[in-house]
Structure 1
Amino acid sequence: MPKRSRVKREPIRPILAAILAGGIFFILSSIWALSTPPSSVPDEASHFIRAAAVAHGEFYGTAGDAHNGTVYVDVPAGVAYSHNFTCNAFKPDITVTTCMDQRPTDPSATVSTSTTAGLNAPGYYILTGWPSLLINGDSSLYAMRLAGALVASIPVAILFGALTRLRVGRWPYLAVGAILTPMTFYLSGSVNPNGLEATSILAVFATTLLLSRKTLSTRATLGYLALMLISGVLLMSTRSISILWLVIALAVGLLMGEGKVIGALLRRPVTWIIGALGVIAGLATVGWYLTAPDVGSPPPGGLMRGEFGTALAMLNSTGNQIIGWIGEFGWLDTPAPIFTPIVWGGAILITFIVGFSVAGKKNRLIIAGLLAVTLFMPTVVQTMVVHELGQIWQGRYMLAMALLTLLVCSIVMSDARLPWPSIRRPALAVFALLWAAHVAAYILVIKRYSIGINYPLLQMFVAPTWTTPFGIPILALIIAFSLVLAGGLWLLWKLADSVPLDEDALDLRRLREPEALRA
């Protein structure tokens, strides 16, 4: 019997890949946003208040008399009430409806309240706080969450547009299934800059890699430079340390590029114009943090240790930090079911080991450097601030760098002609496990907030203590989440599986490192 020939499919258009990926990410993050009470994400109440204050034109606020890092601002009473939703923080066996104070009679009335995010750069909060200008009460809080989900979805769309234009082979698409962890969606569906930080760093790297590896037309070059600028500005709008993440993402993208392509790119005037705009945005961000008024620092929290003891404790908690990238929900009081970190940890470990193993000398150094920053920077930073702030570090703070490291590994894997026919079925099985692990984490979180972690699962459907907003049935949310997640993984699978066997490294043969570097 003659052998069936593989049908050569046309690659998906970058704009279609961007719309589909960004849309699916937005829907999944939005479902997460509607599945928990406001302020159930760490520090979200402070971010709600900061966002509403910025949207209403108050960029600085007033320092409190205690000089403890708290800033007082004027916001609608419905937004100020978000502090009350934290009454069950660190108490996973109760729901917010059992402990909240009475709601304000007029949620639109202006009141003064405190926030610990008062000096954060205003960019992120402008993008998420505008719904508070239009609606009041709990609805404004959920609307701000949805605005945050939309903003975090934009870099995901840019990421997929760049990857499909670069035609990176199948492995980055497969790796994205592991890169976008449950924690990424959870944070993106909240008012917390860590979600946008995690997605925008990927877009910065992908657009930089595309521009430094592939010679594009003048129009396309302008378009992707603009997308790189947008991604970079979004990244800088999140946290002060994100300026460092931006520099790392740009540097890695350029180091993995081609010298001739980069040289041609630098000879185009548009490159310098977009670059100048980026520098201006960076200087403005740095200037914000340098000129912000001194409001003091919060009192040290957690178990106090000396520098050496702190460093040992941080190194010893590396495993817990990694779980923080995958699923540590609520106020760190609701870890994902053990099945979830086992599956995700395995997928992450495989991506790193294979990527590092097939990399050339230069790319191995890049991966090793990224991994060192991801694993050891928490120890360095926490040791430096332990006397001033106490034990503050959380795993989600390094989520952006962890995701960047995995994406770099997957790009390197595309340069190696791994035997796809023999890997195809195991890869499909991993995707099925990732789906089950993500759904399991989602169900656990919605159970924790609807009835409490220790109650029977069935009670969540028949007699929940806390009900989801707008009367959405919990079962409907779970079904919708499961189906959309399956659709997203199916899209990744089709993108990967549609790469012809003879084009596994399409456009990458000419991009490989010189043999001297691969020795």
Structure 2
Amino acid sequence: MTPPSFTPTPTAAKRRPRIAFWVTFLALFLAIGGWSIVNPAMASPDEPAHAVKAAATVRGEFTADESEYNAGRGTFEVPELFAQVWNLTCYAFHPETTPNCSPGISGDLSAPSESASHVARYNPVYYTIIGLPSLLPIGAETLTLMRLASALLNAFLIALLVRTIFELRRPFWPLIGVVAATTPMAIYIASSMTPQGPEIFGAMLTLVVLLAMTREPDEGLISRRMWRLVIGAAFFVLARGLSPAYLAFIVVIAVLVSPRWSTVWDVIRNRRIWPQLGLCIAASVGAVVYTLASGSLALGIVLPEPGLTATQVVTRMLRNTDYYFEQLIGVFGWGDTHLPIWTQMLIVCLVGLVIIVGLAMGTWRERAAVAVVGVATLIVPIAVQLLSYKESGLVWQGKYVMPIALAAPILAGFFAERGPMTMGVAKRVAPFVVGIAGAGQVIAFAVNTHRYVNGANGPWTALIEGAWLPPINMWLALTVEILVWVGLTVAVALATRLPDGGESFEPGVPALVDARYPDGSGLRTGADEGEHATPADEDVAPASAEQGVHSADPLPASSDSVR
């Protein structure tokens, strides 16, 4: 007996993007926040420096006393808590050592004190946000609250990204691409005090919005898409010194893969988006000016090698490619906690699946774009180190190039959406991909927690003598992580049963096409925005319905305009 089919109402389909936003935001905040709470204090590389910088920035200290240090490293006056954070890293680089070696936090934690930071010149925007919890009564929990502020910001960026995808007529291959790009390393970074979180997810949001605007131009969605672009580009470009260059790369790639370059020009000429476009340009120019004026590219901590040559730099970095690649997937702690090789292979297979399908369905220009991203992921680190190795030595980490590298599966996901076959496959594959990716995330969480509780090579079935325990029950935390990813898998499975925008479409064609302009030059706005329909609009409506053209889910401009 065939079970009855699920036929949702058009209203249910319209609400899908909004529901996707809230489900993603709450679920990802729980998942990322779990890492933030379970990890011991200062478990992320350079987290003490970021904590000191945040506490100083939110108190109005934007420059440090660098008289005793290298350029880029200096002393701030901060509460005593932030002077003690440097004492909490005794387990760093020692995977068998648990955080019980730490002397702990004591004394008057609110008393003024001095503490150093080697990110003293970094852009203050991110630090102002995560530093806000430090203005509350100071305690040991302050550090966790600052992490959670960062987790909240990153979950918000991810939720905006997912909502943008679910506003597409055919969202599931792009969603698969984003899921593949969100590696355990990305989630781990999102849970820590570091501007790399909003840099990574701001880059992903920026790319997704640009691809949505050029591949499915929609006058009814253009305003909210542009506000999301402002948010994504701002957090992206204001994160670190290299971010403006990364943003320029992402924009160029998005333009080059536009199915119709005339669409890009049409978007730029649209006066409705000029204010938001101006804000994006202002943020980018401001980031470049700040970087040049402050000298934020200066490395506060350097490891110079006097005899190092340019040839040796290139050779050693090429030899380290496998380790840099591993860092894109998942190397936790201070580079001392690694995922099992079979888990890494699982994640690589997911990314490879998306890229292979995207290359198969893409045009030669689109295939070239994916190749350019791959080459840039390899070449950019070498180029950056060649510019600074004499002063800094080899300090590059693979995670530094994630804003570029993670663009490859996202691009491939958008390219894979062509043709009725791939759409049908996407609906079947999407829940499976989310489930497998979720399993990888849970395994990463368990491996990371085990490293701190019993040490990297400690037993899995019993606590060692002197085991470290996180501030919340670790089994409860693991259960929450499992439930989050199972819930997201179920949510995606349910979403695949909702109607979409049709079995096939041509990228670059406006989503709302007026039948009076079959070439796509006329975008319907009035009737689709809820205004009074003219007789001509009424004549067009039935034809549009027969053609499978969907209607956007307009929201009031004054509320929820960016969600």
TM over 0.5: same fold? yes
Distance 1:504 1:325, change over 3 A: farther
1:353 is matched with: 356
Opposite residue 222 of structure 1, the aligned amino acid is: S
Distance, in Å, in 2 between the alignment partners of 1:509 and 1:224 is 16
Opposite residue 473 of structure 2, the aligned amino acid is: P
Distance 1:260 1:429, change over 3 A: closer
Opposite residue 128 of structure 2, the aligned amino acid is: I
CA-to-partner distance for each residue in 1:321-362, whole Å, 9 max, x for gaps?
121111100110111122221100111122222212221022
1:517 is matched with: none
1:468 is matched with: 470
1:248 is matched with: 249
1:230 is matched with: 231
1:334 is matched with: 337
CA-to-partner distance for each residue in 1:86-113, whole Å, 9 max, x for gaps?
1110111111222x23533101111101
Opposite residue 90 of structure 2, the aligned amino acid is: C
- On the 8 A contact 1:237/1:285 being kept in 2, the answer is yes
1:45 has 2:85 as partner: no
1:314 alignment partner, one of 317, 333, 349: 317
2:140 alignment partner, one of 138, 141, 146: 138
TM-score by length of 2: 0.83
Deviates more, 1:250-259 or 1:55-64: 250-259
- TM-fit CA distance, 1:381: 1.6
The alignment's C-alpha RMSD in Å is 2.8
Opposite residue 242 of structure 2, the aligned amino acid is: I
Q: Name the SS for the 1:88 alignment partner.
A: coil
Distance, in Å, in 2 between the alignment partners of 1:206 and 1:392 is 31
Deviates more, 1:251-260 or 1:376-385: 251-260
1:366 has 2:369 as partner: yes
1:201 is matched with: 203
Q: Name the SS for the 1:75 alignment partner.
A: strand
Distance, in Å, in 2 between the alignment partners of 1:234 and 1:116 is 21
1:406 is matched with: 409
Opposite residue 333 of structure 2, the aligned amino acid is: G
Deviates more, 1:369-378 or 1:430-439: 430-439
Distance 1:428 1:229, change over 3 A: closer
2:534 is matched with: none
2:88 is matched with: 85
- On the 8 A contact 1:72/1:113 being kept in 2, the answer is yes
Opposite residue 387 of structure 2, the aligned amino acid is: M
Q: Name the SS for the 2:167 alignment partner.
A: helix
Opposite residue 21 of structure 2, the aligned amino acid is: A
How do 1:288-307 residues align onto structure 2 when only pairs under 5 Å count? Answer: 288-292=290-294, 297-300=300-303, 305-307=308-310
- On the 8 A contact 2:306/2:390 being kept in 1, the answer is no
Distance 1:2 1:312, change over 3 A: same
- TM-fit CA distance, 1:464: 6.3
- On the 8 A contact 1:179/1:403 being kept in 2, the answer is yes
Opposite residue 44 of structure 2, the aligned amino acid is: V
- On the 8 A contact 1:168/1:506 being kept in 2, the answer is no
2:16 is matched with: 13
- TM-fit CA distance, 1:420: 6.0
Distance, in Å, in 2 between the alignment partners of 1:89 and 1:114 is 18
Deviates more, 1:160-169 or 1:20-29: 160-169
How do 1:130-209 residues align onto structure 2 when only pairs under 5 Å count? Answer: 130-209=132-211
Distance, in Å, in 2 between the alignment partners of 1:478 and 1:464 is 21
- TM-fit CA distance, 1:26: 1.4
2:514 is matched with: none
- TM-fit CA distance, 1:182: 0.8
Opposite residue 96 of structure 2, the aligned amino acid is: D
How do 1:477-516 residues align onto structure 2 when only pairs under 5 Å count? Answer: 477-496=477-496, 498=498, 503-506=502-505, 508=507, 510=509
1:28 has 2:31 as partner: yes
- On the 8 A contact 1:174/1:492 being kept in 2, the answer is no
TM-score by length of 1: 0.90
Distance, in Å, in 2 between the alignment partners of 1:495 and 1:175 is 16
- On the 8 A contact 2:88/2:104 being kept in 1, the answer is no
- On the 8 A contact 2:453/2:467 being kept in 1, the answer is yes
2:99 is matched with: 96
CA-to-partner distance for each residue in 1:159-195, whole Å, 9 max, x for gaps?
1121122223421222333221111111101101122
Opposite residue 50 of structure 1, the aligned amino acid is: K
Q: Name the SS for the 1:290 alignment partner.
A: helix
Deviates more, 1:57-66 or 1:491-500: 491-500
- TM-fit CA distance, 1:2: 9.1
- TM-fit CA distance, 1:128: 0.9
1:444 has 2:447 as partner: yes
Deviates more, 1:315-324 or 1:113-122: 315-324
Distance 1:92 1:508, change over 3 A: same
CA-to-partner distance for each residue in 1:494-517, whole Å, 9 max, x for gaps?
4346466x93445648479x9xxx
1:62 is matched with: 65
- TM-fit CA distance, 1:318: 1.8
- TM-fit CA distance, 1:134: 0.8
Distance 1:210 1:139, change over 3 A: same
Q: Name the SS for the 2:119 alignment partner.
A: coil
Deviates more, 1:294-303 or 1:401-410: 294-303
User: Which protein shows a greater Rg?
Assistant: 2
CA-to-partner distance for each residue in 1:206-261, whole Å, 9 max, x for gaps?
2222333444346x433221221111111112111111222222233333333444
- On the 8 A contact 1:48/1:79 being kept in 2, the answer is yes
Opposite residue 229 of structure 1, the aligned amino acid is: V
- On the 8 A contact 1:177/1:492 being kept in 2, the answer is no
CA-to-partner distance for each residue in 1:362-393, whole Å, 9 max, x for gaps?
21121111121112211222233222111111
Deviates more, 1:123-132 or 1:246-255: 246-255
- On the 8 A contact 2:25/2:158 being kept in 1, the answer is yes
- On the 8 A contact 1:37/1:468 being kept in 2, the answer is yes
Aligned residues: 507
Distance 1:3 1:83, change over 3 A: closer
In structure 2, the gaps of 5 or more residues are 512-518, 520-563
- TM-fit CA distance, 1:476: 0.4
Deviates more, 1:2-11 or 1:398-407: 2-11
- On the 8 A contact 1:79/1:141 being kept in 2, the answer is no
Distance, in Å, in 1 between the alignment partners of 2:356 and 2:295 is 46
CA-to-partner distance for each residue in 1:459-512, whole Å, 9 max, x for gaps?
34x87632222xx11110011111112212333344346466x93445648479
- TM-fit CA distance, 1:298: 2.9
Distance 1:392 1:499, change over 3 A: farther
Q: Name the SS for the 2:421 alignment partner.
A: coil
- On the 8 A contact 1:170/1:504 being kept in 2, the answer is no
- On the 8 A contact 1:304/1:391 being kept in 2, the answer is no
In structure 1, the gaps of 5 or more residues are 515-519
Opposite residue 153 of structure 2, the aligned amino acid is: V
Alignment identity in percent?
25
- On the 8 A contact 1:414/1:504 being kept in 2, the answer is no
Distance 1:77 1:2, change over 3 A: closer
Distance 1:496 1:363, change over 3 A: farther
1:278 has 2:277 as partner: no
Distance, in Å, in 2 between the alignment partners of 1:426 and 1:199 is 24
1:415 has 2:418 as partner: yes
- On the 8 A contact 2:238/2:284 being kept in 1, the answer is no
- On the 8 A contact 2:304/2:389 being kept in 1, the answer is no
2:538 is matched with: none
Deviates more, 1:14-23 or 1:332-341: 14-23
